[in-house]
Amino acid sequence: MDQSFSRRFCVAPMMDWTDRHERYFLRLISRHAWLYTEMVTTGALLRGDAARHLAFDEREHPVALQLGGADPHALACSARMAEDKGYDEVNLNVGCPSDRVQTGRFGACLMAEPELVGDCVAAMRAAVRLPVTVKTRIGIDAQDSYESLAHFVRTVARAGCETFIIHARKAWLKGLSPKENREVPPLRYDVVYRLGQDFPGLEIVLNGGITTLQQAADHLRQVDGVMLGREVYHNPYILAGVDRLLYGDDAPAPSRHAVLEQFLPYAERMAAAGVPLTSMTRHVLGLFHGIPGARTFRRALSGSGCGGATAAALLREAVRQLPPAA
C-alpha cells in the first residue's frame, strides 16, 4: 500500500468519542492518519438506524468502520453495507472486555474462539472487496501465552485477515472495568514485536500506552503501524506532526486557528441540520491543550450560557478568549 494512504498512524475507535464530528475535526489536522468509527454492532445496523450509524463525510477518508458481532452472516451483511456506503476498511472488534459486550458474545471474549473469528472474517471477505481487519488483545484471563496468541493470529489469518491491530495488554474478562483493562494489565510491546517477526506477511499495528509521536516513530522500527486513542482525543493537535514525521509529507501543518476556521462551515452546516452544538464543540475542547489560555477556551465552549449562539459565533467567541500568542 502507498505509504501516504496507510495505517502507519491510526486513531483508535473509541465509544462515544470517535463519532463523525470528531473524525471530521481530526481530518482537518492530519491528511494521512487512518480514522476509525466507534464500534457499531451488527444489530444496530441490521435492526436499527443504519443510515445514522454509517453516516460520514467524504473528507474523512481514509476511514474504517469497526463492527461488533459474532455471527458470520450478520457481519457479512454489515460489511456489505459498509462497502456500499464507501468505507475504506471493515474492522472486527475482538478487544473490548466490557460486560455488556461479553453478554452479546463478542469483543475480547472471542479470543477464546479463534475458529469462530476465522469464520466471521471469511464471511466478510467473501461479501466485500474491502480489507477486513481485526483489533484484538495479546490474551485474555489465563489464556495469555504467546503460543495461544500466535494460534489465534494464524487461524484468523488463514481466513483472510492480513492486518491485526494488537492492544499490547491482556484483558481480564472478570474483575476489571474497561478503564482498568486499559491501565492495569502490563504493557507487553515485546509480544507484539515478536508477532511482527514471526508473521512477516501480515501487517501488525501496535496499540496501547503510546502518548508521543517520538514513541510512535520508535515503535515503527518494529511494527507496521501504531494506533493512539485517548491521547489524540485530549490533545488533538498532536496530529499536526503526524504527516511530516510518519508519512514524509512536507506540506505545512495547519495552525490551531486555521483548523477552527475550517471547522466552522461544517459546524454551521450540522447545526442547521439539527445537530446540537455540544455534539461538535465537545470534540475541540483539547485543541489548545498546553497553550496559555486553554482553560478559558474550554470554559467558553462548555459553558451553559451559549443560548441561541450559532456554531460560528460560539467558536469565534471562544477563540477571542485566548491570548494573541496562542
197 in the same domain as 85: yes
- Mark which of 205, 222, 247 sits at the end of a domain: 247
- Mark which of 195, 221, 247 sits at the end of a domain: 247
At residue 1, the pLDDT reads 40
Tell me the CA distances in angstroms from 313 to 53, 236, 257, 310, 323, one per residue in order: 29, 22, 14, 5, 18
157 in the same domain as 40: yes
Distance of alpha carbon 109 from alpha carbon 287, whole angstroms? 36
With respect to residue 21, please indicate whether it lies within any of the assigned structural domains. Answer: yes
217 in the same domain as 92: yes
281 in the same domain as 170: no
pLDDT digits (tens, 9 = 90+) for 26-71: 999 999 999 999 999 999 999 999 999 999 999 999 999 999 999 9
270 in the same domain as 139: no
At residue 177, the pLDDT reads 86
Q: Give the alpha-carbon dihedral of 265, 27, 59, 1, to 10 degrees.
A: 170
With respect to residue 266, please indicate whether it lies within any of the assigned structural domains. Answer: yes
Check: CB of residue 135 under 8 Å from CB of residue 167: yes
Instruction: Tell whether the model's pLDDT for residue 310 goes beyond 80.
Output: no
How many domains, in total, are found in the chain?
2
Instruction: Tell whether the model's pLDDT for residue 131 goes beyond 60.
Output: yes
Banded model confidence at residue 20, pLDDT cuts 50, 70, 90: very high
Q: Which of 10, 77, 96, 120 is an active site residue?
A: 96
With respect to residue 291, please indicate whether it lies within any of the assigned structural domains. Answer: yes
With respect to residue 326, please indicate whether it lies within any of the assigned structural domains. Answer: no
Least confident stretch, 57-66, 116-125, 151-160, 277-286: 277-286
pLDDT digits (tens, 9 = 90+) for 195-222: 999 999 999 999 999 999 999 999 999 9
Where does residue 130 rank: exposed (0-12), middle (13-18), buried (19+ CB within 10 A)? buried
Percent of the chain with pLDDT over 90: 77
* Amino acid occupying residue 235: N
Triad 85, 94, 104: Cα angle to 5°: 85
> CB-based contacts of 27: which residues, under 8 Å, 6+ apart?
33, 35, 59, 60
47 grid coordinates:
435492526
With respect to residue 185, please indicate whether it lies within any of the assigned structural domains. Answer: yes
Where does residue 160 rank: exposed (0-12), middle (13-18), buried (19+ CB within 10 A)? middle
At residue 305, the pLDDT reads 45
With respect to residue 325, please indicate whether it lies within any of the assigned structural domains. Answer: no
With respect to residue 154, please indicate whether it lies within any of the assigned structural domains. Answer: yes
Distance of alpha carbon 227 from alpha carbon 205, whole angstroms? 7
Q: What is the CATH number of the domain that holds 64?
A: 3.20.20.70
Residue bearing cell 501480515: 202
At residue 100, the pLDDT reads 74
- Mark which of 247, 281, 300 sits at the end of a domain: 247
242 in the same domain as 293: no
186 in the same domain as 67: yes
Q: What is the mean pLDDT of the chain?
A: 92
144 in the same domain as 278: no
Instruction: Tell whether the model's pLDDT for residue 4 goes beyond 70.
Output: no
The secondary structure of 265-287 as a DSSP string is HHHHHHHHTT--HHHHHGGGTTT
- Active site annotation includes 109: no
- 4 CB neighbour count, 10 Å cutoff: 12
pLDDT digits (tens, 9 = 90+) for 157-193: 999 999 999 999 999 998 888 889 888 999 999 999 9
Pick from 111, 35, 21, 37: nearest CA to 70: 111
134 in the same domain as 281: no
Give all strands (DSSP E) within the chain, no chain letters. 9-11, 34-41, 63-68, 89-94, 132-137, 163-167, 203-207, 225-228
312 in the same domain as 228: no
Tally: H helices and E strands in the chain: 16, 8
208 in the same domain as 190: yes
Pick from 37, 52, 64: nearest CA to 275: 52
Check: CB of residue 240 under 8 Å from CB of residue 290: no
Which domain range does residue 98 map to? 3-247
Banded model confidence at residue 2, pLDDT cuts 50, 70, 90: very low
Q: What is the mean pLDDT of residues 68-83?
A: 98
Tell me the CA distances in angstroms from 73 to 89, 118, 186, one per residue in order: 18, 13, 36
300 in the same domain as 206: no
> CB-based contacts of 274: which residues, under 8 Å, 6+ apart?
none
pLDDT digits (tens, 9 = 90+) for 287-300: 999 988 888 888 88
With respect to residue 19, please indicate whether it lies within any of the assigned structural domains. Answer: yes
Q: What is the CATH number of the domain that holds 281?
A: 1.20.120
